[in-house]
Amino acid sequence: KAGVTQTPRYLIKTRGQQVTLSCSPISGHRSVSWYQQTPGQGLQFLFEYFSETQRNKGNFPGRFSGRQFSNSRSEMNVSTLELGDSALYLCASSLEPREGLEQYFGPGTRLTVT
Amino acid sequence: AQSVAQPEDQVNVAEGNPLTVKCTYSVSGNPYLFWYVQYPNRGLQFLLKYITGDNLVKGSYGFEAEFNKSQTSFHLKKPSALVSDSALYFCAVRPLGNYGQNFVFGPGTRLSVLP
């Protein structure tokens, strides 16, 4: 069974631009979460989607948004990029958002904002 | 608010020796506890989890973890370390009983296994 895939793997953008990252979960998984990983802040939760609905949202500004499609694939968008948005963005999937279920992570998208 | 602490930024151990990576947590209520490992330029890989039952949980690659409710700890252990175990290890918690709660990750501990 294929793992979580994320595209693109690497991205360089300029301050003020916007970016869209894509995530395809493991087949059969319907819950998708997004995380931002930086050396200073560690892993921070962005949002979680299940059945095309945002179930939970972390403490990030409104510039960060996401959505989930009927096939469970998810995208996240960051508008008006800032230098501090440079990070590894990780997507994780699980069968459903039940507390005891582990999440499976993709390799991440490395975003660099210049 | 829930939080996870990993008191050591770095753990060094010689190959063949036992290793321990420490984790303590603070949550309201009972938690589900997880360990993940991250290799360079890779996402996180699930190692093991504690849900209920036996306090000693066995996981992938020979790792195990011991849940201690009174000390609110969930330390990761391996009897004999390998050089290939060198990586970044994350402890995570997800509170029980609240469907809307997300995972909270610790800051990570870098494990270096020296040959």
Residues B73-97: pLDDT tens digits?
999 999 999 999 999 999 999 876 5
* Cα nearest neighbour of B35 on chain A: A102
Q: Do A97 and B94 touch (CB under 8 A)?
A: no
User: For residue B67, how many other CB atoms are within 10 A of its CB?
Assistant: 19
Tokens standing for residue A23: 């995530």
DSSP state of A94: E
Percent of chain B with pLDDT over 70: 95
Contact B106, B91 (CB under 8 A): yes
Q: Give the Cα separation of B87 and B109 in Å (integer).
A: 8
pLDDT of residue B29: 76
* Cα nearest neighbour of A108 on chain B: B43
Q: Do A42 and B105 touch (CB under 8 A)?
A: yes
Q: With an 8 Å Cβ cutoff, is B35 touching chain A? A: no
Q: Give the Cα separation of B1 and B114 in Å (integer).
A: 37
Q: Which whole-number Å values give the CA distances from A96 to A2, A28, A37, in the listed order?
A: 18, 9, 23
Q: Give the Cα separation of B110 and A110 in Å (integer).
A: 20
Q: With bands split at pLDDT 50, 70 and 90, how would you rate the model's confidence at B99? A: low
Alpha carbon A62 to its chain centroid, in Å, reads 15
What confidence tens digit (pLDDT) does each residue in B30-59 have?
789 999 999 987 889 999 999 888 899 999
Q: Which whole-number Å values give the CA distances from A81 to B13, B32, B39, in the listed order?
A: 41, 35, 28
Q: Do B43 and A108 touch (CB under 8 A)?
A: yes
Q: Which residues of A touch B105 (CB under 8 A)?
A: 35, 42-43
Tokens standing for residue A95: 């069968």
pLDDT at B100 over 60: no
Chain length of chain A: 114
Nearest-CA distance from A44 to chain B in Å?
Answer: 8
Q: Which residues of B touch A108 (CB under 8 A)?
A: 42-43
- Please count the residue pairs, one from chain A and one from chain B, whose beta carbons lie less than 8 angstroms apart: 56
For residue A42, give the nearest of B99, B103, B107 by CB distance: B107
For residue A100, give the nearest of B32, B100, B107 by CB distance: B32
What confidence tens digit (pLDDT) does each residue in A10-66 have?
999 999 999 999 999 999 999 999 999 999 889 999 999 999 999 888 999 999 999
